[in-house]
Amino acid sequence: MSANLSYELSTRQQPASRKDKAVKVIRKMIGQRYLQVMALLGVAWMIIFNYIPMYSVIIAFKEYNIIHSVHDAPWVGLQHFREFLEDDELPNVIWNTVGMSLIKLIIAFPLPIIFALFLNELRSLKLKKFVQTISYLPHFLSWVILGGILTTWLADVGIINNMLIALGFIEEPISYLAEPSYFWSIVITSDIWKELGWSAIIYLAAIAGVSPELYEAATIDGAGRFQKMWFVTLPSINGTIAILFILAVSGILNSNFDQILVLRNSLNESASNVIDVYVYQTGLLSGRYSYSAAVGLFKSIIALILLIMANQVSKKLNDTSLF
């Protein structure tokens, strides 16, 4: 009888506990109403500009033009995808896109981690803030401004040529942006210069969350500063590194369109023709909207496949994944 009584009491208490939980959630949301409104605005922006336009991706399978609506455009199936895969420019476009992205992944991805590790070791707070400020500044300048600066620096009478001639490394000025062989180096170096400090913010935030007790234990064991970085700091932010690496792998087919569009010209076209520029020139400037949508959809599918593969590899090797 006592068992039945306890069962009835527990069943009577369940609705009350659920009600209490609901009340707590409502009170919490009311207390965070300003933050909730800000979050809802972000969600609304994402829905309006990222999800609703996804309906128009069907033009990749149609022959769309501005005269007819998306609904009235005739279906052509996979015709645009076949045209893209049969295009003579495809090998060069893929080579430039994947080549620059892989080099960025190999060189540019570890640099913010190293920068954050060494920045965290600075004992002088003023020096640390100064270095952070200097490293962040280029991020807040658009590629239009930075492109103009680079174009001036790399000109025949620019500061780069003047310095190299004065130091005796070269005898005649080099037209860097006119030589396709220099383009990849310029793009990768300038991208690192612009984003190094900003990319390190996430790692600095992760390092700030490392328990001081771990460093104290390492000090007691006789570990030096580099040993602490290697055996304490890096393992502690391993999860953050893995997540950002997964995202970086999924973006291999993405190129910095603004940067390349500003720095490219007819002389370095063979080294600067990436997928995004190809879509812009072949698809949008020529009015081939369905073709450009097909190329963009193809790139998104490959990015999704890379994301899933990188996620599975990270899950097996590091036990860290996005999903």
**What pLDDT does residue 145 have?**
92
pLDDT digits 0-9 by tens, 34-80: 888 888 998 999 999 888 888 888 999 998 888 878 888 889 989 99
Inter-CA distances, 116 with 34, 112, 141, 209, Å: 33, 6, 21, 13
* Residue-level length of the chain: 323
The pTM (predicted TM-score) of the whole model is 0.81
Q: Which two tokens stand for residue 264?
A: 């490219």
Alpha helices (runs of H) in 60-179, residue ranges in sequence order: 79-86, 90-103, 110-120, 125-136, 143-153, 159-167
pLDDT digits 0-9 by tens, 127-181: 988 998 899 899 999 999 999 999 999 988 889 999 999 988 888 899 899 999 9
Within a 10 A sphere around the Cβ of 197, how many other Cβ atoms?
Answer: 22
The rounded distance, in Å, linking the Cα atoms of 191 and 197 is 11
The rounded distance, in Å, linking the Cα atoms of 136 and 196 is 8
Identify the DSSP state of 75: B
Identify the DSSP state of 281: I
DSSP 187-246: HHHHHHHHHHHHHHHHHHHHHHTS-HHHHHHHHHTT--HHHHIIIIIHHHTHHHHHHHHH
Q: Which residues pair with 62 in a beta bridge?
A: 75
**Domains within the chain, CATH numbers bracketed:** 78-318 (1.10.3720.10)
